[in-house]
Amino acid sequence: MLTLKQEDIVLNKRFSSKKEAIEAAGKQLVSQGYVSIDYIQKMVERDRLTTTYIGNMVAIPHGTDDSKVLINQSGIVILQVPKGVEFDGNEVRLIIGIAGLGDEHLELLSSIALVCSDMEKVRQLIAAETKEEIIGLFKEEVRA
């Protein structure tokens, strides 16, 4: 199972556009060694095909199906955006960038969906002041 580390989390980010937010999530995935740099463009491309906004102020940018070769290892990054950024007319305050190898991609999505379907948990994630708080909220649902 996936381990969520403090280095995977970025608190209090601000973005002027959806593209900037997606690219920041991609850069965080790259800096953690989960993906190669070319994966970022595939994340932008994927969102152009269909929005990565999933509701409850959460977006989960990830690569296209053909970008699996750019993934070094499965991982997620969480970018907290307390002031929000617009994704296709929706306010997003939590950006969860994902890179999943094989079936782990679906496991990551279902784990994220479990946590983010609970609006109270989402509010707690957005209000969290430490990375430990965010890890703790995910640990309740996922073995983070």
Residues designated as active site: 62
DSSP E strands: which ranges in the chain? 9-10, 53-55, 58-59, 75-87, 90-99
Around Cβ 16, how many Cβ atoms within 10 Å? Answer: 9
Distance of CA 96 to the CA centre of its chain: 1
d(CA 109, CA 48): 19
Q: Which of 25, 31, 23, 2 is nearest to 101 (CA)?
A: 2
